Amino acid sequence: MRNRALRIISGLGGVTAIVAITPSIGFAQEVSETQAILDNIWVFIAGCLVFFMQAGFALVEAGLTRAKNVVNIFAKNVADAIIGILAFFCSGYALAFGGGNDFFGTDGFFLTGLDINELGGSGVMNLSHGTFFFFQAVFAATAVTICSGAMAERTKFGSYLIFGAVMCAVIYPVVVHFTWGGGLIANISIGDAVYSDFAGSGVVHMTGGVAALVGAFLVGPRRGKFGDDGKPRAIPGHNIPFAILGVFVLWLGWFGFNPGSELAADNLVTGIALNTMLAAAAGGLATAALIWFKTGKPDIAFIGNGVLAGLVAITGPCGTVTPLISVLIGAIGGVIVVYSVLFFDKIKIDDPVGAISVHGVVGVWGVISIGLFAKFDDAFLGRDDAGLFYGGGVEQLIVQLLMVLIIAAWVGIASFVVFSTLKATIGLRVDDEEEVEGLDVPEHGMAGYSADPAFV
Amino acid sequence: MRNRALRIISGLGGVTAIVAITPSIGFAQEVSETQAILDNIWVFIAGCLVFFMQAGFALVEAGLTRAKNVVNIFAKNVADAIIGILAFFCSGYALAFGGGNDFFGTDGFFLTGLDINELGGSGVMNLSHGTFFFFQAVFAATAVTICSGAMAERTKFGSYLIFGAVMCAVIYPVVVHFTWGGGLIANISIGDAVYSDFAGSGVVHMTGGVAALVGAFLVGPRRGKFGDDGKPRAIPGHNIPFAILGVFVLWLGWFGFNPGSELAADNLVTGIALNTMLAAAAGGLATAALIWFKTGKPDIAFIGNGVLAGLVAITGPCGTVTPLISVLIGAIGGVIVVYSVLFFDKIKIDDPVGAISVHGVVGVWGVISIGLFAKFDDAFLGRDDAGLFYGGGVEQLIVQLLMVLIIAAWVGIASFVVFSTLKATIGLRVDDEEEVEGLDVPEHGMAGYSADPAFV
Amino acid sequence: MRNRALRIISGLGGVTAIVAITPSIGFAQEVSETQAILDNIWVFIAGCLVFFMQAGFALVEAGLTRAKNVVNIFAKNVADAIIGILAFFCSGYALAFGGGNDFFGTDGFFLTGLDINELGGSGVMNLSHGTFFFFQAVFAATAVTICSGAMAERTKFGSYLIFGAVMCAVIYPVVVHFTWGGGLIANISIGDAVYSDFAGSGVVHMTGGVAALVGAFLVGPRRGKFGDDGKPRAIPGHNIPFAILGVFVLWLGWFGFNPGSELAADNLVTGIALNTMLAAAAGGLATAALIWFKTGKPDIAFIGNGVLAGLVAITGPCGTVTPLISVLIGAIGGVIVVYSVLFFDKIKIDDPVGAISVHGVVGVWGVISIGLFAKFDDAFLGRDDAGLFYGGGVEQLIVQLLMVLIIAAWVGIASFVVFSTLKATIGLRVDDEEEVEGLDVPEHGMAGYSADPAFV
């Protein structure tokens, strides 16, 4: 998101000022009410697209796993939306964007004391609290959903819900406060360089990916994933159409995720969308070419993950690079995801859908790519002259690496504490019998697919 | 929808005036063409989201029923869209919004004589007839679809189509004329209190629910639903992923349904969306907690209906309550839906997807909740000072109850007449053999899922 | 799209001027920055809806074919998006809209030298290159996807990809240059009549349909499609819910396709949407009535194609006809598609999803209908006074027919050359064994639906 605007938040209650949009061409400069409304309507529509990503995540996860767990997977994804929204309402929004200290905000719990409808009332560009909360809450739901995929097919439903609530209520909001909320990471500067992560390769995806890694490690691999010889065995997904439909839904949703993170309706929105579109296509193409070359087959599950890798990679840099560089960043993301999936198979971390690789590893790549490529040439989405986002050079790369380390440390430790506590108390994993039978009937009392009964 | 604006319609042909938006903060006051266009574009986009709800209804209904009827279910839902749009074009729009009497409008059939493109030409805010028709037509299609679910798996396709056409052409438009069209219900006032139903808990959902109840009663329960002991038996849905994907699609669509009912792009749109989001989540959570407590399992079909109940409940009050009250209204909706489903099972009304409970019963709750909670505290979406929507107190509650009674009486009687006539003539129900075999092959000549044929 | 604006492009690099919108009512006339931004945001959102049509095409094609080929079908549709975007980036956009000659543009390859973010920078209305590229690239992806359906279940994946790349990189862009790019067809005039094809019945759908016809002819029918007696046999689709869900997604997407082609946010957008909605419903109804009458069953696959036929038919005339005429055009499209499908069955062109009929034949109807019906009465979307789109009379009809001939000739010859070359070299068709087994495992190494493995 735009650092500048977010930096000026001094607390959700204390609205500062409506930030005038700096137009790049010679139209009238005043911010009209219509412009402010357009900003809010656009960001809300973008939020709707991001909300719909929940359906995409559910479809990808369900498609790449087994039929006997499909109810559980859809239940988790519905729960993510429910819990994400309510947890963000109770505490997440306040911790993320409230005034406070370097680590978390301390006001705005339950949105109390905030005017929901005042244009610019959030202190973030022209957005009202209604708009800004909507957009941020669907981001939070996204972050937790990433864990769902990596821990699929063997995690207790209740334990997952508790982790999800903590994630949306505390862990993720603190990461947001560190960065877009003006806290710890936002206050790092080396020379002119301050961190940049436009729509959250790090803040959202790497955060989800790190928690997913911790969760997948602690819950252990699925029965049968690794043979007696220690080699990974393929556990085929039960419904490839679902998985690829999910990829399309996520790709669509990302046109809200990235362009919406501009937090305003201005002339830069569609350039960001263009970068997003190109990186996704490049990620898919790179993965396709690599996997086709390596295995002789264009594996469609991998290609889908390649598209998602391109999208995760460009999430951070989408506002600060050219279209051509977007193609490059996406393509490298598509290559990374292949090797990353193979790597986690090798070290026996079982991630049924590749979420750790797609969101975690490629999320890191997205953050770093900003240090490497932003301001690569003059076109630069018209922002280099404003000097808002990017100091450039080695300093920038160091700041980006520090950002990666801080997020990894916080999310890694916090999720380790939560998952370990769950493991030591109510348990993180279903028992063997339930895992073999599938989670659907034991945990939810119904099968995902029922043959027509005979009694009628 | 906004009563004020709709009240001033004196007939579709006789355009009154473009209603100036009353901004809540100090921007320039004039209504520019750009603002008027933004209003129209936004309401159109919201209408697109509502249109997509047809796919959501199809998925929920298909998922919660049996594979042998899936073609019939998708056919009904496509037909709802086709018939809803054309019936609203022929007569629905004219009856609902044309000038006339307290009961129905009398001009604008086939949109003849209306300028489709003039901004503000509909007399409703800045909307053109093109925009306003688009938005209203997709609402009409929604109303009829509700019946489809309650009568699934045993209703003749042809009879369903005829009812659907009458519903969209006459029954539903009259309800709209009663209320948003400035007719019977809109003219009730007790003290300061006039009816309020922002996006249609009553006008749309209860209307659909009442017709669904009449239809389900007259068509009778599915074979095998109630055993010889009179106890209901579970007939499991054949595809839970479809059902939950449908819930996601409907949830998304509601972000058009409720915020779009503002009928303008202003600063209140996203607050309405926020209320909608929170009520849905609260409904889902309340249902989940209750059903988990009652049965020991977090039943995902119930949770999905809990989300929908939260959405139906907040549809009426979403423009006149605070976020915290939205959580409460949604949660109560989520509780009601559980007991309502059990109640209809008990009195042997067979409703395969719970549509009567979700839309009918919870729709009534939405209407009543306005009488209880609107203007509950000062935040109130910034509207209490304008005094446009709400008189408050016991009077308001009485008006809301009158609204419920009038809609129930009209829709109940009208749909009883239509369904009874169909039953007495061409028949409402397929014969036993067809019901056992499933409707797909006898009615539509094809199965929903075909194994690959051997002849190739 | 709006000819006028597109005519003034003299090359992508040489931006001309921002075309002022001519408002139809008396608001302030100046083009504000907010209006220009609104234009871009709206066209981008419309582009998102068009993008999502890829998922709709995938679902329709997969649903109407066999389970053993479903991975291949989703792979082709993902590939269409990937390749369409990248090919349009490399050369398509430049060939279509760059300055050059009557046949193709010669600048703007890889978007080099273009400012992505400048409002109006594309020379097309107020659109930036970022916006305009986004919208055009998703159109290109649509054009190639049409071929996928007609050639389903027997075409080599690699050959399909190569054709898709040539289609998006060269064949389709040249058609666009002929028309919207101000080339060959745009320069035809007979009296006052110049070609009109608002959103591309001809430019997009007929183009896709002609290539699909050539491809289906050269690849030959599926094994078993035509019996020893030469009569066509039905090969039932494996998943009707997918097919109809796809129809809903496409219908939704068309609300971006047609209204977005206004390329501006103005008062005409929602009237275009209204026409689109009505034609789709009328197409569905006409097909349903005809097929019900002919076969005694309301065949839902045909009804779905009837909706799509209504949409394809209105794509060209949607900006220049009244709502009532839209109903007529859509209904005729719905009739044509039935007879067309039967015709291609008769001449033994095997088109598993009816794509040649829906897009090709009905696309021709859409182009011709403009010559017959545009300016049919006074309502006319408010454009007749401007005289921008339509000369009218026999001259118009002739121009439209010339347009059909030129597109058919170019696309027919070009795709014949490409497909023939592929057939003569790497081969166009999988071998018999693979076709019988299904393409999924041999080509992609995985099945679409996997039973849960036993080893866990």
pLDDT of residue C418 exceeding 80, the answer is: yes
Q: Give the span between the Cα atoms of B131 and B125, in whole angstroms.
A: 11
Query: What percentage of residues in chain C have a pLDDT greater than 90?
Result: 81
Closest to B27 (Cβ–Cβ): which among A33, A62, A448? A33
The answer to whether residues C375 and C320 touch, using CB atoms and an 8 Å cutoff, is yes
Residue A456: its chain B contacts at CB < 8 A? Answer: 222-224, 235, 435-436
Tell me the C-alpha to C-alpha distance, in Å, between residue A13 and each of A10, A110, A170, A435. 8, 13, 20, 48
Average pLDDT of chain A to the nearest whole number? 89
ipTM for the whole complex: 0.93
- B189-190 vs A193-194, strand pairing mode: unpaired
Residue to mutate among C37, C45, C109, with most A CBs inside 10 A, is C37
Q: Give the span between the Cα atoms of C279 and C321, in whole angstroms.
A: 11
Q: Which chain B residue has the Cα nearest residue A48?
A: B252
- The DSSP code sequence of C178-212 is HTTTSSTTTT-EETTEE---SS-IIIIIIHHHHHH
Q: Which of B163, B179, B227, B150 is nearest to B9 (CA)?
A: B179
Closest to A436 (Cβ–Cβ): which among C34, C70, C456? C456
Q: Give the span between the Cα atoms of A128 and B271, in whole angstroms.
A: 8
Neighbours of C349 (CB within 10 A): 18
pLDDT of residue B417 exceeding 80, the answer is: yes
Q: Is B451 within a domain?
A: no
Instruction: Give pLDDT, residue C394.
Output: 87
Q: pLDDT tens, A412-435?
A: 999 999 999 999 999 999 999 999
Mean pLDDT confidence for B243-255: 98
Instruction: Give pLDDT, residue B375.
Output: 66
Instruction: Give pLDDT, residue A365.
Output: 98
User: Is C129 within 8 Å of chain B by CB?
Assistant: no
Q: pLDDT tens, A356-373?
A: 999 999 999 999 999 998
Question: How much of chain B is helix, strand and coil, in % rounded to 5?
Answer: 65, 0, 35
- The DSSP code sequence of B99-128 is SB-SS-B-S-GGGTT--SS-TTTTSSTT--
Q: pLDDT tens, B374-394?
A: 764 444 444 444 334 455 678
Q: How confident is the model at residue A100 (pLDDT cuts 50, 70, 90)?
A: confident
Closest to B74 (Cβ–Cβ): which among C241, C259, C271? C241
Mean pLDDT confidence for C86-93: 97
pTM for the model stands at: 0.94
Domain of C404 in residue numbering reads as: 35-430
DSSP 8-class letter at C388:
-
Q: Which of C182, C253, C189 is nearest to C2 (CA)?
A: C182
Question: How much of chain C is helix, strand and coil, in % rounded to 5?
Answer: 65, 0, 35
Instruction: Give pLDDT, residue A12.
Output: 44
Q: Give the span between the Cα atoms of B160 and B154, in whole angstroms.
A: 10
The answer to whether residues A358 and A307 touch, using CB atoms and an 8 Å cutoff, is no
Name the packing angle between helices A33-63 and B240-260 (round to 10°). Answer: 180
Q: Give the span between the Cα atoms of A248 and C48, in whole angstroms.
A: 11
Mean pLDDT confidence for B241-261: 98
For C226, the token pair is 């035509």
CA atoms within 13 A on the CB side of C449: 14
Q: Is A23 within a domain?
A: no
Residue to mutate among A248, A255, A257, A291, with most C CBs inside 10 A, is A248
CATH number at residue A134: 1.10.3430.10
CA B22 to chain centre: 28
Residue to mutate among C44, C248, C250, C285, with most B CBs inside 10 A, is C248
Please list the alpha-helical segments (H only) found in C11-98. 33-63, 70-87, 93-97
Q: pLDDT tens, B22-40?
A: 333 333 445 799 999 999 9
Query: What percentage of residues in chain A have a pLDDT greater than 70?
Result: 89
**Residues B298, A59: C-beta atoms closer than 8 Å:** no
| DSSP-assigned beta bridge partners for residue C194 | C189
Count how many domains chain B has: 1
Mean pLDDT confidence for C71-100: 96
Residue appearing with tokens 């009426």: B316
The answer to whether residues C408 and C210 touch, using CB atoms and an 8 Å cutoff, is yes
Mean pLDDT confidence for C263-275: 96
pLDDT of residue B339 exceeding 60, the answer is: yes
The answer to whether residues B247 and B261 touch, using CB atoms and an 8 Å cutoff, is no
**Residues C445, A382: C-beta atoms closer than 8 Å:** no
Q: Which residue has the higher pLDDT, C17 or B179?
A: B179
Q: Is A455 within a domain?
A: no
For chain C, positions 379-438, list CB contacts with chain B under 8 A.
379, 381-382, 435-436, 438
Q: How confident is the model at residue C81 (pLDDT cuts 50, 70, 90)?
A: very high
Q: Which of C217, C244, C224 is nearest to C68 (CA)?
A: C224
Closest to A38 (Cβ–Cβ): which among C37, C54, C444? C37
Closest to B128 (Cβ–Cβ): which among C32, C236, C270? C270
Q: Is C423 exposed, middle or buried (0-12, 13-18, 19+ CB in 10 A)?
A: middle
Phi, psi of A105 (to 5 degrees): -85, 165
H/E stretch holding A189 reads strand A189-190
Instruction: Give pLDDT, residue B320.
Output: 87
- Shortest Cα distance, chain B CAs vs residue A122, angstroms: 12
**Residues B86, C240: C-beta atoms closer than 8 Å:** no
Q: Is C247 within a domain?
A: yes
Residue C240: its chain A contacts at CB < 8 A? Answer: none
Q: Which of B359, B244, B237 is nearest to B310 (CA)?
A: B359
Q: Is A227 within a domain?
A: yes
Residue B115: its chain C contacts at CB < 8 A? Answer: 379, 382
Q: Which residue has the higher pLDDT, A58 or C31?
A: A58
Q: Is B291 exposed, middle or buried (0-12, 13-18, 19+ CB in 10 A)?
A: buried
pLDDT of residue C431 exceeding 90, the answer is: yes
| DSSP-assigned beta bridge partners for residue C77 | none
Give me the sign of the Cα torsion angle C437, C440, C446, C452: negative
pLDDT of residue A11 exceeding 50, the answer is: no
Q: Which residues does C19 contact at the CB level (< 8 Å), separation at least 6?
A: C4, C5, C8, C125, C126
Q: pLDDT tens, B421-433?
A: 999 999 999 999 9
Phi, psi of C321 (to 5 degrees): -135, 165
Q: Is C373 within a domain?
A: yes
- C189-190 vs C193-194, strand pairing mode: antiparallel
CA atoms within 13 A on the CB side of A338: 24
* SS3 call for B226: strand
- Shortest Cα distance, chain A CAs vs residue B268, angstroms: 6
Q: Which of A114, A234, A146 is nearest to B274 (CA)?
A: A114
For A409, the token pair is 């440390």
Name the packing angle between helices B362-373 and B393-424 (round to 10°). Answer: 170
Q: Give the span between the Cα atoms of C190 and C389, in whole angstroms.
A: 13
Mean pLDDT confidence for A281-289: 98
pLDDT of residue A86 exceeding 50, the answer is: yes
Q: pLDDT tens, A24-61?
A: 333 344 579 999 999 999 999 999 999 999 999 999 99
Phi, psi of C194 (to 5 degrees): -120, 160
Q: Which of C379, C366, C44 is nearest to C197 (CA)?
A: C366
For chain C, positions 43-102, list CB contacts with chain A under 8 A.
44-45, 47-48, 51-52, 54-55, 58-59, 62, 70-71, 74-75, 77-79, 81-83, 85-86, 89
**Residues A79, B255: C-beta atoms closer than 8 Å:** no
| pLDDT-wise least confident of A308-312, B431-435, C181-185, C230-234 | C230-234
Return left, alpha or beta for C137; rule: phi > 0 is left, psi -120 to 50 is alpha, else beta.
alpha
pLDDT of residue C25 exceeding 60, the answer is: no
Average pLDDT of chain C to the nearest whole number? 89
Q: Give the span between the Cα atoms of B159 and B418, in whole angstroms.
A: 10
Q: Which of A254, A244, A210, A280 is nearest to A61 (CA)?
A: A244
**Residues B27, A41: C-beta atoms closer than 8 Å:** no
| pLDDT-wise least confident of A386-390, B443-447, C139-143 | A386-390
Q: How confident is the model at residue C10 (pLDDT cuts 50, 70, 90)?
A: very low
Q: pLDDT tens, C231-240?
A: 999 899 999 9
Instruction: Give pLDDT, residue B212.
Output: 97
pLDDT of residue C79 exceeding 60, the answer is: yes
For B416, the token pair is 């009883």
- B189-190 vs B193-194, strand pairing mode: antiparallel
Amino acid identity of residue A109, one-letter, is F
Q: Give the span between the Cα atoms of A324 and A310, in whole angstroms.
A: 13
pLDDT of residue C52 exceeding 50, the answer is: yes
For chain B, positions 15-44, list CB contacts with chain C under 8 A.
32-34, 36-38, 40-41, 43-44
H/E stretch holding C292 reads helix C269-295
**What count of CB pairs under 8 Å joins A to B?**
198
Instruction: Give pLDDT, residue B391.
Output: 52
DSSP 8-class letter at A156:
-
**What count of CB pairs under 8 Å joins A to C?**
199
Q: Give the span between the Cα atoms of A118 and B448, in whole angstroms.
A: 50
Q: Which residues does B17 contact at the CB level (< 8 Å), separation at least 6?
A: B8, B120, B123
Q: Is B454 within a domain?
A: no
Q: How confident is the model at residue B305 (pLDDT cuts 50, 70, 90)?
A: very high
| pLDDT-wise least confident of A33-42, B8-17, B24-33, C168-177 | B8-17
Residue to mutate among B35, B41, B64, with most C CBs inside 10 A, is B41
For chain B, positions 292-331, list CB contacts with chain C under 8 A.
none
The answer to whether residues C132 and C124 touch, using CB atoms and an 8 Å cutoff, is yes
pLDDT of residue B312 exceeding 90, the answer is: yes
Please list the alpha-helical segments (H only) found in A261-353. 269-295, 300-315, 323-346
Q: Is A271 within a domain?
A: yes
* SS3 call for C355: helix
For B312, the token pair is 């139906």
Mean pLDDT confidence for C381-410: 75
Q: How confident is the model at residue C208 (pLDDT cuts 50, 70, 90)?
A: very high
Q: Which chain A residue has the Cα nearest residue C70?
A: A241
Tell me the C-alpha to C-alpha distance, in Å, between residue A338 and each of A60, A283, B414. 17, 11, 62
Residue C303: its chain B contacts at CB < 8 A? Answer: 75, 78-79
| pLDDT-wise least confident of A281-290, C24-33, C137-146 | C24-33
pLDDT of residue A2 exceeding 60, the answer is: no
CA atoms within 13 A on the CB side of A383: 29
Closest to C282 (Cβ–Cβ): which among B86, B111, B120? B86
Chain B partners (3+ C-beta pairs within 8 A): A, C
Mean pLDDT confidence for C368-374: 90
Name the packing angle between helices C207-219 and C129-150 (round to 10°). Answer: 30
Neighbours of B39 (CB within 10 A): 28
H/E stretch holding A193 reads strand A193-194
For B347, the token pair is 């009195």
Q: Give the span between the Cα atoms of A290 and C71, in whole angstroms.
A: 19
| pLDDT-wise least confident of A122-131, A198-207, C8-17 | C8-17
Please list the alpha-helical segments (H only) found in B98-227. 129-150, 157-166, 172-178, 207-219
